[in-house]
């Protein structure tokens, strides 16, 4: 059993989906503290050949709240504005029509929290990309919030009888391979490899939201992008 654990992000970059695709179970870390100015409720798309940051507005977001407790802002017509930006930026992309329907479905979901939105968005997008990994919110099981950092990750691994835990490359200073090995668990870090693709006639801009890859690639090429990584 191979697992990964990550905070939920809205329309994250391809590396996030590479991680999901690489494991048997993906745990959404929704009962940890919200991160201000992180990627939970925002990401970059391509606008006029340049990265453009979009943000899903939240109500009283705070690092003193758990991610699952943070509500979406009500009464702000962000969906209409966001969809219009997508339309203006990508309407000439080869796979615009199918992908726009996907995005429209997600942003118009009747949900109240950023966790509900990101969880649903991940499941819908994974289905679109033919990723079949089981996705589990950490708040629905485990009951180990008293543990912190590496020890909580290890406890989740043991509860799932995991033999292999994969973490994004940014966690190399946080997790120790020897500590995992003592519990009989292999620890690997996933490192995405930049894989350019045509973005109209612009110079290639890497690591944008998955929206960008979906707009410019068919299913065969999406599958190739999902495998463009190395485990360390």
CA angle 51, 123, 42 (to 5 degrees): 25
Report whether pLDDT(76) > 80: no
Q: Which two tokens stand for residue 217?
A: 């690639």
Q: At what angle do helices 78-90 and 96-107 cross, to 10 degrees?
A: 170
Report whether pLDDT(116) > 90: yes
Residues β-bridged to residue 72: 58
* pLDDT value of residue 42: 97
Q: Which two tokens stand for residue 221?
A: 């090429």
pLDDT, tens digit, for every residue of 18-40?
Answer: 999 999 999 999 999 999 989 99
pLDDT, tens digit, for every residue of 142-168?
Answer: 999 999 999 999 999 999 999 999 999
* CB distance 72 to 115 below 8 Å: no
Report whether pLDDT(77) > 90: no
Closest CA to 104 of 137, 67, 132, 79: 79
Q: Report the pLDDT averaged over residues 65-72.
A: 97
Closest CA to 114 of 105, 126, 106, 104: 106
Report whether pLDDT(205) > 90: yes
Residues β-bridged to residue 164: 2, 186
* CB distance 120 to 109 below 8 Å: yes
Confidence tier at 118 by pLDDT (50, 70, 90): very high
Report whether pLDDT(75) > 80: no
Q: What is the pTM of this model?
A: 0.96
Give strand ranges (E) for 57-212: 58-59, 71-72, 134-137, 164-168, 186-192
pLDDT, tens digit, for every residue of 98-112?
Answer: 999 999 999 999 999
* pLDDT value of residue 141: 95
């Amino acid at each position: 059993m191979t697992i990964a654990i990550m905070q939920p992000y809205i329309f994250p970059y391809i590396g996030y989906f590479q991680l999901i695709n690489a494991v048997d179970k993906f745990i959404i870390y929704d009962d940890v503290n919200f991160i201000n100015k992180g990627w939970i409720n925002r990401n970059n798309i391509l606008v006029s050949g340049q990265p453009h940051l979009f943000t899903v507005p939240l109500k009283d977001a705070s690092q003193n709240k758990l991610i699952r407790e943070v509500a979406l802002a009500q009464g702000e017509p962000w969906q209409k504005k966001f969809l219009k930006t997508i339309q203006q930026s990508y309407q000439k992309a080869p796979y615009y029509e199918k992908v726009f329907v996907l995005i429209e479905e997600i942003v118009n979901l009747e949900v109240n929290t950023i966790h509900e939105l990101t969880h649903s968005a991940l499941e819908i997008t994974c289905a679109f990309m033919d990723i079949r990994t089981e996705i589990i919110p950490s708040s629905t099981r485990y009951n180990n919030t008293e543990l912190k950092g590496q020890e909580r990750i290890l406890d989740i691994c043991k509860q799932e009888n995991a033999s292999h835990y994969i973490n994004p490359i940014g966690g190399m200073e946080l997790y120790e391979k020897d500590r995992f090995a003592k519990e009989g668990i292999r620890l690997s870090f996933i490192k995405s490899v930049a894989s350019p693709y045509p973005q109209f006639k612009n110079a290639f801009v890497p690591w944008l939201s998955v929206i960008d890859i979906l707009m410019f690639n068919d299913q065969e090429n999406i599958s190739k992008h999902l495998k463009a990584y190395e485990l360390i």
